[in-house]
Amino acid sequence: MFFSHIYVEREAAEYATARAILPRFSQSVPISISHYKDVFCRRGQNFTRQKRRPQLILAVKREDYFHRGSRMCDGFGQDNFIYTTQIMNCPFDCAYCYLRGLYGSANVVIFVNPEDTLQAVANSLPAFICVSYDTDLLAFEALTGYVRRWLAFCAARPEAVVEIRTKSAAFHSIAGFDALPNVQLAWTVSPDSVIERFERGTPGLNARLADMRRALEKGWRVRLCVDPIIKTRGWEQDYRAAAQTIRAALPMERLLGVSVGCFRVSKTHYARMEKLEPFSEIFGYTMEERDGTIGYPDEAEMIAMTRAWLTGGAL
Amino acid sequence: MIYFCAALFLEARPFIERYQLQKTSALKNMQIFQGPAASLIISGAGPTRAAAAVAHLLTLISPEHCPGNNLGHLFVNVGLAGSIVFPQGEIVLCHKLTNTFTGYDFYPEIPFGHGFREGALGSFGHSIRAESLPYDLADMEGAFVFEAAEFFLPLHQIVCLKVVSDQFAPRDVSAETAAAVMRRAADPIAAWIDRETARLDGAANRFFFSPEELEAMERVRQNLFLTRAMCLALEKACQKAKSREENILSVLAEAAGSGRGGKNASKPIYARLMRQLSPTQK
């Protein structure tokens, strides 16, 4: 991970997290700023261009420590489903990522006061908390240590259930911690053909499955997410083969759950994403709108087929 | 197209010579020079002149109407600045620009591998003489030029390059010395600009459709009497089909070949073509 420039809010520079991060990028040019939005929300930014060489912004989170879960996300039946944003953007570059439609900038913002978020969440328990939605928290663990903070938080508060979703192969960074019953580790997986074409910078399928296996062996509750399914030419063969690989690599009966979903985003985000990469195959298929969400017209069949392949059932 | 904006003629002169620019028009206190690859305006100092010059240049020679693609343009504010951080003659790429009137800060996108020193620039509306300032550099137009250029071009196509002429005491430097400093800096600046514009052009000119596909689309347009809206819909459908790795050339050729029977006869052919390119289930 390299950032040629690091924008540091004057207030953020005083925090321990910032003081720990900055020396690790001694080659980077530090630039003092008043507020992260002065950089992150500039007009005229090009997300795809920035994504090739993102910069880092260190900021203080002053409000909105958590949000109510989106109806587009699976809350797994939990009443108080919330998510937190301690980091904005992600080290990976997935062509279908909704962050491309959500943010105008691909620069990474790390909020250096995670303790304030933890305190705000502590006041809202019991809750199901997704902590890795607008980023990949585990992929940043070596830099921030935020997952470890959530583990300590959960160890002391059984009424908090935390989901840490990742595409990384960075389980080693928390492998020294004991498994917690109220922490769910969720890996999003895709066929290698999708990873190579649309998930730039992410580990391959086998590396993710190896991490999942290690986590299961250590007693962690692990969820498998084949979400989103990306339609490409011959997607059926790719996902069927990936399902076979998954079933061979994992003891499926020991998984906490398997969630399957198709590529879908809000109408506004879809339009922005398509504008960024109009020639991508991601946007080459017929989509339809349902209640403000854009998705494949045949997503129910796609999900059913993928589920059947994952369970080994014939369709 | 490279767009230059400089406050003074002595700052502009090396670039006028290097890019062989010819004077094309003059407003009062604002001269414009043009060549095939570059345009340059001399704004004069101060916020109002800077903003007016940028708006005038980028409206007169609009990036959208220049040959090629809007992505390939670069706007460069080049000129002298005072500094007590950098020595005389140093070329500095500004990574932060402050409008000292409003207090607003502007953050340009930093081009990768530019090779210059970097610093924060404060832009003032008048000449200043100071022992110290909270900026690495001070000038009389950089932030104002940037603020105006932002209205016309994406961030990554606007850069501010300053050459240090004095230590916050501009009146201590003669015009001859300032011109010499600028002349020495012009070569490395121009060399970098040429590399950067070539890179931007390269990125802009990766066309998605092959010449044969564009020609086939044009034949369809003519033979089927397509309206502008129909052409746009056809292009989008072709784009999606090609992204799915489908062979659009044969479908287009078939439609173009069967559509010479007048407007009414071509309507069903167009409808069939669009169905072929945009199947509901794929």
Question: Is B107–A33 a contact, with Cβ atoms under 8 angstroms apart?
Answer: yes
Interface pTM, i.e. ipTM: 0.86
Q: Is the pLDDT of residue B265 over 50?
A: yes
Question: Could you state, in order of their start, the residue ranges of all structural domains in chain B?
Answer: 2-204, 211-277
Closest-CA distance of chain B to residue A283, Å: 7
Q: Tell me how crowded residue B253 is: count the other CB atoms within 10 A of its CB.
A: 15
Q: Is A119 on the interface with B (CB under 8 A)?
A: no
Structural domains in chain A, CATH included, are: 5-311 (3.80.30.30)
Q: Where are the beta strands (DSSP E) in chain A?
A: 5-9, 29-33, 56-59, 66-68, 81-84, 87-88, 93-94, 108-111, 127-130, 160-166, 183-188, 199-200, 221-229, 257-262, 264-266, 288-290, 293-295
DSSP one-letter code for A131? -
Report chain A residues whose CB lies below 8 A from the CB of B120. Answer: 31
B113: closest chain A residue by CA: A4
Structure token pair of residue B211: 């010449």
Q: Is B207 on the interface with A (CB under 8 A)?
A: no
Q: Is the pLDDT of residue A186 over 90?
A: yes
pLDDT at site B169? 77
Q: For chain A, positions 175-234, list CB contacts with chain B under 8 A.
A: 231, 233
Which site among B109, B112, B277, B281 would you substitute to test the A interface, given the most A Cβ atoms closer than 10 Å to its Cβ?
Answer: B109
Question: Is A285–B240 a contact, with Cβ atoms under 8 angstroms apart?
Answer: yes
Q: What is the CATH number of domain B2-204?
A: 3.40.50.1580
Q: What is the CA radius of gyration of chain A?
A: 19
Q: Is A123 on the interface with B (CB under 8 A)?
A: no
Residues A24-52, buried b or exposed e (16+ Cβ, 10 A)? ebeeeeebebebbebbbebebbbbebbbe
**Residue of A5, A45, A231 lying closest to B155 (CB–CB):** A45
Q: Is B84 on the interface with A (CB under 8 A)?
A: no
Residue A303's alpha-carbon distances to A71, A111, A227, A236, in angstroms, are 18, 36, 9, 11
Q: Is the pLDDT of residue A71 over 70?
A: no
Q: What percent of chain B has pLDDT over 70?
A: 92
- pLDDT tens for residues B91-135? 999 999 999 999 999 999 999 889 999 999 999 988 877 777 899
Tell me the count of A-B CB pairs closer than 8 A: 70
Q: Is B94 on the interface with A (CB under 8 A)?
A: no
Separation between Cα atoms, residue A218 and residue B59, nearest integer Å: 65
Residue with tokens 């201590």: B172
Question: Is B154–A31 a contact, with Cβ atoms under 8 angstroms apart?
Answer: no
Q: Is the pLDDT of residue B202 over 70?
A: no
Separation between Cα atoms, residue A102 and residue B71, nearest integer Å: 23
pLDDT at site B65? 63
Q: Is the pLDDT of residue A219 over 80?
A: yes
- pLDDT tens for residues B145-159? 999 999 999 999 999
